[in-house]
A and B are shown apart, each in its own frame.
Chain A
Amino acid sequence: MQTANKGKLVSLAEAAALVRDGDRVALGGNVLHRAPMAFVRELARQGKKGLKLVKTAGAHDIDLLCAAGCVAEVDAGFVSYETEFGLAAHYRKAVEAGAVKANEHACYTVIGALRAAATGAPFMPVVGLKTGDLIKENDYFTIIPDPFGGVHVPVVKAIVPDVAVIHVQEADAAGNAVIHGPKYEDVLMSRAAKSVIVTAERIVSAQAFRQRPEQVDIPGFLVAAVVHAPRGAAPCACDRAYEADTRALERFKKLDADQIGDYLAEYEKSDRSAKTFGGWNR
C-alpha cells in the first residue's frame, strides 16, 4: 500500500521502467546544465531501445544514450559539449553510421514544436526560418500561406513527448517541483509532454510549497513519478548545488562504446542509493 506521504515517490529503477521502448523522451536542462543524468544512466542500464530524444541543446545525455544504443532519433538544435570538451563523438558516430536519425532543428523550432504540443495545436509558426536546406530536407518544416493574406509563414510540426524527464533542485512527494536558477525550456516541456517524471536533489515536505505556490514551476498534477536523486545531474552541473565534474566528463569522452557498460555500472550504486524523506527508501 502506498502511504500518504510517499505519494508519487518511486525508485529510480521504477521511474525509468515507465519509459517504454520507442518513446519520445524530452530531456530537461541545457548542454552541461541540469541534465537528468541519473535517469539517463538508468535508461541505459535498462537497455531501452528506439528512444526518440527531444532537446534544444544537448550534450552528455544524448551522447551517452547514443553510446549505449538506446536511440533511434534526436530532435535538437545543437548536440555537442562546450568548447573544451569538443564534439559529442558517440552521437556523431551513430548518426554517421545511420543508426540514429538526426532531425536538426534551430533551437527555436524545438521550442515552437513544444509550444504547439502544449497548446494542442498541430504546428506553430516560426517566422525566422526563412531560408536554407533545413526546410527542404526535413518534413517537419514547411511554409504555408498566411490565411489572413500576409506573407507566407514557416511552420514547425508539433512534437508531443511521451514523457519529459526534468531534474530539479526541490520537489515534494506529489510531484510539485521548483527549479532554481535558469529554467531553460523545462517548464514548457512539462506542459508539452503527455507525462512528466521529476528527479530532485531534495524531497521537501508537502507543506513547503504552500508558503510559495507561485514559485512552483511544475505542478504535481502533471507529474507521474518523483525520484529522489541527489547529484542526479552529475557529472553535469546543477545550479546552486554543484559544478560540472570536468574530470568525469573528460574521462567519459575517452571511452569507446564497449566501455560504456562499465561506466554505467560505476554510477549504479550512487544513482540508486537515495534515501527519501520519511524513512522510505529503496
Chain B
Amino acid sequence: MSVNPQTIADTMVCAMARLLQDGERVFHGVASHMPMVAMALAKRLHAPNLVQLNIPGGVNPPSIAKANVSSAGGDLLAGAESYFPLMDIFDLSMRGGLDVAFLGGVQFDVHGNVNASVIGDYRKPKVRMPGGAGSAVLIPTAKKAIIWRTKHDRRTFVEQVDFVTTRGNVWKIVTPLCVFEYRQGRLWLDSVHPHSFLDEVRENTGFELQYDEIRTTPAPTARELAALRQVDPRNWRLKEVGR
C-alpha cells in the first residue's frame, strides 16, 4: 500500500473519534495510542463531556502530549480530574456502567469472534500472541466495543479465528482500509476509506464482503485536522501505522 501513513493514521483516528458521543464513558488500554488520540479529539470537537478513562487511572487527562512510549503511564494521571484506575474501570463495566471500550486483537472473523491469544493449539501454539488484556471481560460487558487494527490482510480478517479469546458487544472495527460493523451475527462492510477502494478491501479480506451500499468514510475535515494538531502535537497516532 503506497498511501501516506499519515493519511491512514488521520483517517482511522477521525473515524474512531466520530463514533464517540457526548457524555459517554470511554476506556482505552495499553499500547493504544490511536484510541487515546481519538478520545482526546472527540472531547475537543463534539463530545466535551466525554469521560476519558485509562489504565493509570487519570480521569480526563488534561493532555496526552507526554504519552510517548506508553498509553498507560503516570503522565495520563498528572493533572487529571480524579483517580479511577483499571480495577475500578473493570468493575464499572461489569455492572453495566462503561459505554465504550477500545480494544485490539490480532485475528477477527466474520462471526464477530476476536483472537488475541494463539495461532494453533492453545497449549502448544504455533504463535503465542500477547493475550487479550481486558478484552475477554470488556467486549462482553461494555455497551459498545470498538476494535482497531492497523493491519488489514487475509490472515487478520478470516472466516474463522484459530481461537476465540472473546466475542460479545463488538460494534465497529476500524482498519487502514475500511470500517466494519457487527450486526445480525456477522461483520458488514460499513464504509471504505477514501484512500482505498472496494476491490482492495475485498482482496485483503478472508471472508466474503457483505454490505448494503458502498459508502466512503468521510475524509478528515480541516477542522478535525486542526484539532488533531492541537491534541496530538507530537503525532503519537502515527506510531502504530509507522511500524
Is A222 engaged at the interface, CB distance under 8 Å to the other chain?
no
Using CB atoms, name the residue of chain A closest to B142. Answer: A128
Give 1 or 0 for each of A56-100: 1 = CB within 8 Å of chain B CB. 110000000000000000001111111111111001100110100
Is A116 engaged at the interface, CB distance under 8 Å to the other chain?
no
Is B205 engaged at the interface, CB distance under 8 Å to the other chain?
no
Whether B71 lies near A134 (C-beta < 8 A) is no
Give 1 or 0 for each of A9-37: 1 = CB within 8 Å of chain B CB. 00000000000000000000011110000
Is A277 engaged at the interface, CB distance under 8 Å to the other chain?
no
Which of A40-48, A238-246, A255-263 touches B? Answer: A238-246
Contacts of B30 in A (CB 8 A): 30-31, 57, 78, 82
Contacts of A106 in B (CB 8 A): 132-138, 166
Contacts of A109 in B (CB 8 A): 136-137
Which of A179-187, A196-204, A209-217, A266-274 touches B? Answer: A179-187
Contacts of A102 in B (CB 8 A): 125, 128, 131
Whether B165 lies near A98 (C-beta < 8 A) is no
From A80, A108, A137, contact of B137 by CB (8 A): A108
Please measure, in the bound complex, the distance between the C-alpha atom of A79 and the C-alpha atom of B165, giving whole angstroms: 15
Whether A133 lies near B132 (C-beta < 8 A) is no
Using CB atoms, name the residue of chain A closest to B162. Answer: A133
Min Cβ gap A167→B in Å is: 13
Give 1 or 0 for each of A154-188: 1 = CB within 8 Å of chain B CB. 00000000000000000000000000111111001
Contacts of B168 in A (CB 8 A): 130-131
Contacts of B141 in A (CB 8 A): 127-128
Number of interface residues of B (CB under 8 A): 52
Please measure, in the bound complex, the distance between the C-alpha atom of A55 and the C-alpha atom of B93, giving whole angstroms: 21
Residues A182 and B130 in contact in the complex (CB < 8 Å), given A109-B137, A128-B94, A132-B165: no
Please measure, in the bound complex, the distance between the C-alpha atom of A101 and the C-alpha atom of B128, giving whole angstroms: 11
Cβ < 8 Å to A, chain B residues 56-105: 56-58, 68-74, 77-78, 85-87, 90, 93-94
Q: Which of A30, A76, A134 has the most CB of B within 10 A?
A: A134
Residues A79 and B87 in contact in the complex (CB < 8 Å), given A128-B137, A137-B122, A137-B123: no
Whether A88 lies near B130 (C-beta < 8 A) is yes
Is B33 engaged at the interface, CB distance under 8 Å to the other chain?
yes
Is A111 engaged at the interface, CB distance under 8 Å to the other chain?
yes
Please measure, in the bound complex, the distance between the C-alpha atom of A109 and the C-alpha atom of B136, giving whole angstroms: 9
**A interface residues (Cβ-Cβ under 8 A, vs B):** 30-33, 56-57, 76-88, 91-92, 95-96, 98, 101-102, 104-109, 111, 126-134, 137, 180-185, 188, 237, 239-240, 243-244, 246
Min Cβ gap B53→A in Å is: 13
Residues A181 and B56 in contact in the complex (CB < 8 Å), given A31-B72, A82-B31, A237-B70: yes
Contacts of B165 in A (CB 8 A): 104, 132-134
Please measure, in the bound complex, the distance between the C-alpha atom of A237 and the C-alpha atom of B67, giving whole angstroms: 12
12 A-B pairs, CB-CB below 8 angstroms?
A33-B73, A33-B74, A80-B130, A82-B30, A84-B69, A105-B131, A109-B136, A127-B141, A128-B138, A182-B57, A184-B56, A185-B86
From B93, B129, B131, contact of A76 by CB (8 A): B131
Residues A182 and B56 in contact in the complex (CB < 8 Å), given A106-B135, A106-B136, A128-B138: yes
Is B143 engaged at the interface, CB distance under 8 Å to the other chain?
no
From B56, B71, B85, B126, contact of A82 by CB (8 A): B71
Whether A82 lies near B130 (C-beta < 8 A) is no
From A84, A131, A237, A244, contact of B166 by CB (8 A): A131
